[in-house]
Structure formats: structure tokens, C-alpha cells
Amino acid sequence: MTIGNATEQVANSGTNGRPKSRPSLIHIILLVNVLSVLAFVGLWALSTGLGWVAPIFLPSPSAVAAQASKLIDSGELWIAVLSSSRRVFLGFALATVIAVPLGILMGVWWPAKAIVDPFVSLLRPLPSITWIPLTILWLGIGESQKIAIVFMGSWLYILLATIEATKRVDPLLIRAARNLGANDLAVMREVILPGALPGILAGLKITLAISWSCVLSAEMVAAQNGLGALIWQAKDWGNLPLVLVGMVGISFTVLLADALAERIERLLQPWERHRRS
Amino acid sequence: MSGVLVADHVTKTFSAGGSDVVALRDLSLEIAEGEFVCLIGASGCGKSTLLNMFAGFIQPSAGQLLLRGQPITGIEPRCGVVFQSYALFPWKTVRGNVEFGLKMKGVPAAERHRIADKFIDLVKLNGFENHYPVELSGGMQQRVTLARILAADPEVLLMDEPFAALDAMTRQVMQEELLRIHEQSRKTTVFVTHHVDEALILSDRIIVLSARPGRVKAIVANNLPRPRRVDIQLSPDFAKMKAEIWGHVEEEVRKHVEATRLSSAAG
């Protein structure tokens, strides 16, 4: 996380021309980040190497590294990452396609909000894992069930963020657009959609992380492959290094997805460039 | 009544916290073609309310507002508004903002481009066509709103304290720009301000509104010679007129201060 922030500062100080002395502080922060990680791994190696912790509770870093390289070489890790990613992508995309238009409609037209609101209130307290029994009954334990769990865990958050973003569009801008001759459709296309976009994208980004936790819990309950299944099966085989490799794999995959989402967010809103720096 | 813009016995009442507040009472006025009229008065006298009714943003409680003899019943694109807080679209570039009204009229892209260039030129923002509003200073942003409304070519310009958020120097520059643009275009303009100096620099006629409820307290013809520049402030005629208008305004400001003191004492 800290590494991410530090690189972001470097990028920003480059674009708006801050004094050149700035990057040196960034480099020091980066160095401390790296040292902190190395110290942690060293302490970990020491505690397992000297027998402070039994290997059945915590394997050594070298055992984890060996397991990781075995998994990468066999291609199993990529298969797990890809099958989890595919489920997240499909469930999340489906949730976006349904919840964003519905949220905009609910934000601008009160009857839509009045119709859907009771269901939102009832569904919101339910964590996505509570849908596992029903979805298995309806959809079996195949791909569509995992995608359904991701969908159920994501769409409400996207919906709520979209309603909020739509309602926050500055009414003065709507007034100005109408004064310049915009009709309802033009107000929607030219003002409400771009005005709500930052809030919608922020909501999508937060929800993406939630989607990942949904797919992992679904995979841990019933799946042949995927990162969740990988660590759950490793536990059953008593292969602790594999559990840790799976967890690190999840961490990196979600971080990567987050970084990708950040890039897309920036590309879609060139006018937000300056607000961030 | 023959004016381009007419307020005919207009009353506007707002309900606030259970009680009714009369913002304007039985107000009538008329604005002629090509005229630059300043509405001036103490804060809370309803000058912005009147402007918002001319734009069709709000409806009067009694009486009516007319544009070329037709009642104004909804948002009226023929009365273009320049807002105090600019109201630029942050996701559009300077060019995108200036082209907006033309786009809404269905003007083809090439034509839009050409017209936008002309008005970006007029407000001296060449070179900033592809900048976003957030990248511009307050004065430059207000120039963009001016270019945006002029490009849309409404029949009447309604300006609601457009320079109030600017610093004193930028304000003077903008006043001079507006003088130049108005003397070129001769577009009928209603300009709300609480600055006596600003009203005198810009207007052909000054309408002083009374403290709440707002009514026409005085109408003063401003015969300072045109074309004008902001240095008109140094002339003796300017000083004489300023004293006259201030005489009308001062009494109303005192009333307003008194009223707020009474209401806060009562509350």
C-alpha cells in the first residue's frame, strides 16, 4: 500500500513540476519500504530456521518460495489466477451493466427509487456467502454459481454508489445546460452522466475489491479450481507452503486488478487530472 | 408595454420555515431593445429572484414576466444567464463549453468550431481552447461563461453578479471587456450588482430596488458618454451620479440592516 502511494507521488510531482528536491524524499521512503519488507522476511526466516516456530504452523520462506516456483512452473498458479479473475470479471461486469443504469434511473426518477428501495434495504444486510446454498440449489456448483455469488455481492454497492453520485450532480449545471437549450435527453447525456461518472467509478473501484472476496469465499465452499479452491485444497492436504503461496497470489492479483482499475479511471476522466495532484 | 423584457406587477413569496417571506411585491419594469440595465439594491432585496424569474428558473406568485410580449413560463433559452459561480461544465474543455449552446441547437461540428473560435477570440482566450475549467483562473473562467453565452446567441443577457467572486483588479478588467463586448453587440442586458461603481460604469439605466419586499425605488438614466472605459470613474459627472444613486441605496441598506437587527432580536 505504502509502495503504491509513494510511486503515485512521484508520478504527480512529475506532472505539475514541483521542485526537483521532492523525488529524493520519495526514494528514501521507497528504500524504507523495501528494508521493512526485507526485515520482515529475515525475521520470518530466522524464527523458522532456529526452530522458534514449528514448520507445521509456519513454513520457512524458502519452503514457500520453492512451492511458488513449482506452482508457477507447472502452470497451476496461472490457471488458478485466470479462473478466479474470469469469475470476478463476469460477475462484476454483469453487476455493473445492471446496477449502473438502474442507479441512474433511481437517482433521477423517484418512482423507480420507491419501487426498488425496499428490496435494497432487505438485501443489503445479507453477506454474499448467505446466497451460497440457494445458488448451489439453483445453479449447481459450476461457473454460473460462482459468477452469481460475485454478482449478488457486488450489484448493491454499485447501485448505492450510482444513486448517490447521480444525486450529487450540481443542480446549477443542469440549470445552466437547460438555459443553453438542452432538452431532457441532452441533460442526461451531457451533464448527469459525466457529472456522476467520478462517483460511479469510485464506487466501482471499491466494489471490485468486494467482488474478489466474494469469489474467494465461493471457491472455498465448492470449486475445482481458482485461488480460493487452491488454498482450501492445500489445507486439506496439509500443504501449508501452498496455502501461503495462494494467499500471496490473491494479494498480488487483487493489487494488480486495483491498479488496472485506477488506470482506467484516469483514462476516462481527463478533467480530473488536476484535482488529484 | 413594448419592452423586450417586461415585469408586470410581479410578486414573489417564498415560504421559509413555516412563514412566508415576500421577496418582491407588485414590481413592474420594462427593458428596451439593446439597453444595458443594472439592477442594484441592498442584499435580500430580490434582485437575483427577479433575474431567476426572467430566466424562467422560478415562477412568480402573482403577475407575469414577458419576453417580447410572450409570458415566460419555463426555462427560457432566449434569456441567456451568466452565473456568479460560472457554472462551467468541468468535464468539457473551454471549446466544449463554448460550443455547448450551438450543439444543443444542432449546429454542425465545423460551423460550431468556427463560431466558438470567434468568441474565444473575443474574450481573449486563444491558446486555452483545450484547457479544462479547473486549469483556469477565476477571471478566465468567467470569460469562458461569457463566450459560452454569447456563442449561444440569446436575445437577452441576464447577468447575476458575474464579477462578485473576482478580485478588484480582475473585476475592472472584466468590466472593461464587457463594455467593449456590449458596445459591439448591443445585446439587451440585465446586470445584477450591489456595486454602485460597477452599475455606473456599465449601464444605460440603473434601477434601484427597495429593501425587502423589493419594489422599484428609483430609476436613474445613466448618460455618461459611450464608448466608455473604466476610467470614466474619474470624471466629475460620475461622482455626481454616484452621490445621487448612493442617496437612494443608502436608505434601503439602513432599512435592511434595521430589519435584520429586529428579526435577530425577536429570534
Sequence ranges of the domains in chain B: 1-21+32-78+156-267, 92-153
pLDDT tops 90 at residue B45: no
Contact B82, B160 (CB under 8 A): yes
Contact B44, B211 (CB under 8 A): yes
- What the block records as the C-alpha cell of A88 is 470476478
- Phi/psi class of residue B46: alpha, beta or left (left: φ > 0; alpha: ψ in -120 to 50)? left
Q: If you average pLDDT over every residue of chain B, what do you get?
A: 90
Contact B205, B220 (CB under 8 A): yes
Q: Does domain B1-21+32-78+156-267 have CATH number 3.40.50.300?
A: yes
**According to the model, what pLDDT value does residue B46 have?**
85
Query: Measuring CA to CA, which residue among B57, B53, B58, B56 is closest to residue B27?
Result: B53
pTM given for the model: 0.81
Whole-angstrom Cα distance, residue B143 to residue B124?
8
- What the block records as the C-alpha cell of B23 is 421577496
Which chain A residues are closer than 8 Å to B77 by Cβ?
A: 178-181
Contact A124, A161 (CB under 8 A): no
Residue type, A37: V
**According to the model, what pLDDT value does residue B266 have?**
60
Contact flag B152-A197 (C-beta cutoff 8 Å): no
B106 contact A CB<8A:
no
Residue ranges in chain A whose pLDDT is less than 70: 1-23, 273-277
Higher pLDDT, B141 or B15: B141
Buried b (16+ CB within 10 A) or exposed e, A175-207: bbbbbbbbeeebbeebbbbbbbbbbbbebbbeb
**According to the model, what pLDDT value does residue A21 have?**
55
The secondary element (H helix, E strand) that includes residue B193 is: strand B188-193
Least Cα separation, residue A180 to chain B (angstroms): 5
Place of cell 518460495: A65
Buried b (16+ CB within 10 A) or exposed e, B181-212: bbeeeebbbbbbbbbbbbbbbbbbbbbbbbbb
**According to the model, what pLDDT value does residue A150 have?**
96
Mutation target vs B (from A183, A271, A273; most B CBs, 10 A cutoff) = A271
**According to the model, what pLDDT value does residue B248 have?**
86
**According to the model, what pLDDT value does residue A134 have?**
94
Whole-angstrom Cα distance, residue A260 to residue A256?
6
Contact flag A195-B91 (C-beta cutoff 8 Å): yes
Alpha helices by DSSP H, chain A: 2-15, 22-49, 61-74, 76-108, 110-123, 132-139, 143-167, 171-179, 184-187, 193-221, 227-236, 240-268, 273-276
Task: List, edge to edge, every strand of the sheet that includes B188-193.
Answer: B79-82, B156-160, B188-193, B36-40, B205-209, B216-221
- What the block records as the C-alpha cell of B9 is 406587477
Residue type, B254: R
- What residue of B is the nearest CA neighbor of A16? B135
Which chain A residues are closer than 8 Å to B100 by Cβ?
A: 177, 180, 182, 190
Which chain B residues are closer than 8 Å to A274 by Cβ?
A: 132, 134-135
- Phi/psi class of residue B62: alpha, beta or left (left: φ > 0; alpha: ψ in -120 to 50)? beta
In DSSP notation, B59-100 reads --SEEEEEETTEE--S--TTEEEE-TT----TTS-HHHHHHH
Helix axes A76-108, A143-167, angle to 10 degrees: 40
Contact flag A179-B100 (C-beta cutoff 8 Å): no
Q: Which residues of A touch B (CB under 8 A)?
A: 170, 172-173, 175-183, 186, 190-191, 194-195, 197, 269-271, 273-275
Contact flag A172-B90 (C-beta cutoff 8 Å): no
Nearest by CB to residue B152, choosing from A181, A195, A197, is: A181
Mutation target vs A (from B97, B104, B130; most A CBs, 10 A cutoff) = B104
- What the block records as the C-alpha cell of B73 is 413560463
CA distances from B78 to B3, B33, B149, B160, B187 (A): 15, 14, 10, 16, 12
Least Cα separation, residue B16 to chain A (angstroms): 20
